[in-house]
Amino acid sequence: MNILSLGGFTNLGYRLRARDFEPIDADMSGKTVVITGATAGLGLAAASRLAGLGARIVIVGRNPEKTERVQEDIRDATGAEVTHQIADLASMAEVADLADRLLAAEPRIDVLINNAGALFNERFVTEEGLERSLATNLLGHFILTNRLIPRLIESAPSRIVNMSSGGMYSERIAVDDLQFESGDYTGTAAYARTKRGQVILTEKWAEQLRGTGVVVNSMHPGWASTPGVSDSLPGFNRVMGPLLRTPEQGADTMVWLAAAPEAGEISGEFLLDRTPRDTHMTARTRETPQERQMLWDRLEQLAERVSS
């Protein structure tokens, strides 16, 4: 990864590219958007903007009081219909229950945005025996998405948007060590591996869903100022502060993928600032076709294990 690429992750890169952006000309009236991690940062910015385009928003959060407050704030600011569901995506039992509740409550789902994610500086294993980064950033969304895909197909044309990270450029997927049990654990590496996994899953879902009317894309927001960044990477946040994007700038591509008519014509891409990007900067991070399938199979195995 070169310094020019990194410069594009800043607010300077966003402002330069945004000069060529067309306004998102979309009427989302009658469409339902489910977005995880929507109570702060990028998710909140995207939920607010999509509500402003007329979408019915289902925000998914962990904290009931905070989630209800955000629901009311978005509704008051936009006049849109906003509802919520409570779930911790680190708990696969809660993810399964969330999926059941969404299927029962939502006769249509037009957009699913897998935005929730976190960087944990210490390795922690959940009660279900899952490393927390893997559970929160990858397996939870794998289970939720697969459970909701039939409803997305019924609602087609529909969209899935996966929030990845530029950090994934630094890591190769480790299919033999998804739970980071080998070597010294580092939060940034664990996070980057899960974000690499999200990109691989995006490409596999796009292949599987070709011809169904469901498009699937991943994106990264650049370097944005969010509570997650300030909490997990305080040194980075302090040094890069003036160059960090606002949540609204970081969420722009998420909103574009969810709403823009032209975004419905692409699938299986990884985007920054509304433009598809290479998913590897060097050959070191490239996975084989066998490893891609192994990732899918092992996530399925983990999902089956925790549900039994």
Q: Give the active site residues.
A: 191
Residue 193 main-chain phi, psi, to 5 deg: -65, -40
Q: Say how far apart CA 196 and CA 259 lie, in whole Å.
A: 25
- Specify the pairing of strand 270-272 against strand 32-36: unpaired
Whether 236 contacts 226, CB under 8 Å: no
For residue 4, how many other CB atoms are within 10 A of its CB?
8
Beta bridge partners of 34: 58, 112
Contact 57, 81 (CB under 8 A): yes
- Containing 298, the helix (H) or strand (E) segment is helix 289-307
Beta strand residue intervals within the chain, DSSP E: 32-36, 56-61, 82-86, 111-114, 158-163, 214-219, 270-272, 275-276
Angle between helices 187-208 and 140-154 (to 10 degrees): 20
| Radius of gyration, CA atoms only, the chain | 18
Show the tokens assigned to 4: 């020019």
How many CB atoms within 10 Å of residue 157? 11
Q: 293, 283, 46: which is closest to 169 by C-alpha?
A: 283
